Structure 1
Amino acid sequence: MKRYSVMIAACLLLLAGTVAAAGAASGFTPYHFGFKKSKNGELPSIAQEGFMDIVKKHGAVFLGDTSAKELYLTFDNGYENGYTKPVLDVLKAKQVPAVFFVTGHYIKDQPELLKRMAAEGHIIGNHSWSHPDLSQVSNERLQSELDKVKQAVTEVTGQKEMKYLRAPRGIFSERILAQSAAHGYTNVFWSVAYKDWDVNSQKGANYAYTSVMKQLHPGAVILLHTVSRDNAEALGSIIDEARKQGYEFKSLDQLKQKTYR
């Protein structure tokens, strides 16, 4: 009887270890951010993507307040293609705030544009130093990737605070969300996007305008890339039409209520 008790205890310990290991491993599971796009006024959703619970758990941004006609404009800046200046010109003329997520390459290559972003009241966010798949880097490498961007932006612009992170290519894991949150970052995803980053497949300002406007919804976090000629040419019309429809563009710092659906 004693022998069986020992065997049962050993099995229970093995099972507990397996469960614990599985739980630990789950934090390393990589996810590629995706969502069901807004269509015909229906709100977008991440409910079927398999990561909604961890996004919510770690306070990441996907949607703002869907009961308010608010929009949050965000740009990814991995490298410069000649269109950030016209984008900034439009934002200045229209008095619209934005967030620019920058990489180490962009900081080193375009310090004057960074200074202008900060001087004109935009937020500069972290897009990592070398644009790696963050789900595959160690905690130490993650901290280095984020710290180097923050320090370099401070040296160029004087901006001392950096609290928003966008993972390169939208690839993340629960560990990355937890670790970056521990460093004071809010991860920012998006609820409006289209394939605008391919510089060899630009389809014209009207295509960009239509691609964004047909997805517009209350609380939208809009992702655009500044390498896109189409975006630069369509941005003014997007802003004007959104305002005509009653939307207000706000700074991410003004986002008071996050929605998960």
Structure 2
Amino acid sequence: MLPLLSLLALSAVVTSVPSALALVSSGPRDVESLFRRQTAIPEVGSAEWVALYPAAGSTPTTVPQAWTDALAAAVAAGKIPDLPPATLTQGYPSYSNNLDPAGPVACHNTRGCSIASDKLVAPDGMIGISQDDGPLPPGRTLNSFFEAQKINATHFYIGGNVLGNYDIFLQARAIPGQHFAVHTWTHPYMSSLSNEGVVAELGWTMQILADSNYGKIPAHWRPPFGDVDNRVRAIAKEVFGLQTIIWGVERDSEDWTLTNLDNEEAVKATITGFLEGPKAPGMIMLQHELSDRAVNAFITLWPSYLSNGWDCRTIVRQNTSPFSLCFPS
């Protein structure tokens, strides 16, 4: 094993997981074994728990041997495209072999290419309630609002932020109906990383979420900046069983701009336009808990979700029976 882990055995913890919420990856049959520890998980937030993971904000450089072996097996089976890492210029990719980023071989999302398994939209009439980049301090207010309004949401969490803001994670975990998904460990441009770098960013985030959420292994991930190509998609799916979740074309709320700009009214106008627009197909919108302004925009506009009659669900519940509805109780 490469340092830090002896991989997860959660038998004592998993027995306490409510079956209705046991959301385990539907990917490789043995994905659970990649995150199984041989000893009990320390208390979330303890020094012993912190010591299990890479430092918050630092690029992971070591991984368990089991993850390396799973990657090697997927490569040997021809399941991982032989693509070089992309070079990003102002967020847009190019490849050293002059491969077309928008073509079917690379199929880079930022160049408008997606594949059938990517999730960009919801079923007609539905909207996926999701927030990126947490847990962060503005998430305390957001979580309290979710709890008060009985809103079920998908949290695309950054692994290093879970480590650094574990109290906010625990607040979200205590709220019924919350769904936790992967947003990498450090929020990098994933297509620029080596295969091993992709595995580290995804794997460590899955590990800390599984360890800290009663053994529930995430089944979904969202690429930072929407930066994903066929190589990265394949590693996520074939090594870790993760489905790639992006957002609809022209469904970026741009609330991330509120971190540095005082343009909350413009962001609200953008979101209002989405909510008042067509419901076919349904909507997955890009939103964040990056700033108090971004959280306030969501809270202020929540009545518009209700008045426009959207069926609001977490990402994972969109193909099942209603889990939460955008109608006043």
TM-score (norm 1): 0.73
Matches within 5 A, 1:16-165: 24-25=82-83, 50-52=111-113, 55-57=114-116, 59-65=117-123, 68-77=124-133, 80=136, 82-120=137-175, 121-165=177-221
Q: Tell me by how many angstroms 1:105 deviates.
A: 2.1
Give the Cα–Cα distance (whole angstroms) in 2 for the partners of residues 85 and 29 of structure 1: 36
SS in structure 2 opposite 1:225?
coil
- Asked if 2 retains the 8 angstrom alpha-carbon contact of 1:74 and 1:223, the reply is yes
Give the Cα–Cα distance (whole angstroms) in 2 for the partners of residues 79 and 128 of structure 1: 13
Flag the structure with higher helix content: 1
Alignment counterpart, residue 215 of structure 1, candidates 247, 264, 274: 274
Give the Cα–Cα distance (whole angstroms) in 2 for the partners of residues 229 and 242 of structure 1: 20
Alignment counterpart, residue 316 of structure 2, candidates 253, 256, 260: 253
Matched, 1:172 2:232: no
Amino acid at match of 1:215: F
Matched, 1:203 2:245: no
Q: Tell me by how many angstroms 1:24 deviates.
A: 4.6
Give the Cα–Cα distance (whole angstroms) in 1 for the partners of residues 296 and 304 of structure 2: 14
Q: Tell me by how many angstroms 1:255 deviates.
A: 2.1
SS in structure 2 opposite 1:201?
coil
Amino acid at match of 2:191: S
Q: Tell me by how many angstroms 1:214 deviates.
A: 0.5
- Asked if 2 retains the 8 angstrom alpha-carbon contact of 1:70 and 1:248, the reply is yes
- Flag the structure with more relative contact order, 1 or 2, with Cα contacts below 8 A and sequence separation at least 6: 1
SS in structure 2 opposite 1:223?
coil
Cα gap change, 1:235 to 1:101, in 2 (>3 Å): same
Give the Cα–Cα distance (whole angstroms) in 1 for the partners of residues 133 and 86 of structure 2: 26
- Larger Rg computed on CA atoms: 1
* Structure 2: unaligned runs, 5 residues or longer: 1-80, 93-108, 321-329
- Asked if 2 retains the 8 angstrom alpha-carbon contact of 1:30 and 1:172, the reply is no
SS in structure 1 opposite 2:199?
helix
Amino acid at match of 1:197: W
- Asked if 2 retains the 8 angstrom alpha-carbon contact of 1:164 and 1:187, the reply is yes
Amino acid at match of 2:154: V
Amino acid at match of 2:253: Y
Cα gap change, 1:79 to 1:169, in 2 (>3 Å): farther
Sequence identity percentage? 17
Partner of 1:6: none
Task: Write the deviation string for residues 29-74 of structure 1: whole angstroms up to 9, x where unpaired.
Answer: 67969xxxxxxxxxxxxxx97543xx224x0110111xx3211011
Q: Tell me by how many angstroms 1:28 deviates.
A: 5.6
Give the Cα–Cα distance (whole angstroms) in 2 for the partners of residues 210 and 105 of structure 1: 32
SS in structure 1 opposite 2:216?
coil
* Structure 1: unaligned runs, 5 residues or longer: 1-22, 34-47
- Asked if 2 retains the 8 angstrom alpha-carbon contact of 1:30 and 1:173, the reply is no
- Asked if 1 retains the 8 angstrom alpha-carbon contact of 2:82 and 2:231, the reply is no
SS in structure 2 opposite 1:189?
coil
TM-score (norm 2): 0.59
Partner of 1:187: 244
Task: Write the deviation string for residues 165-204 of structure 1: whole angstroms up to 9, x where unpaired.
Answer: 1111211111111111112111111122232223120323
Q: Tell me by how many angstroms 1:78 deviates.
A: 5.2
Task: Write the deviation string for residues 134-163 of structure 1: whole angstroms up to 9, x where unpaired.
Answer: 112122221121111111122333242201
- Asked if 1 retains the 8 angstrom alpha-carbon contact of 2:209 and 2:217, the reply is no
Q: Tell me by how many angstroms 1:79 deviates.
A: 6.2
**RMSD of aligned C-alpha atoms?**
2.6
Give the Cα–Cα distance (whole angstroms) in 1 for the partners of residues 228 and 146 of structure 2: 30
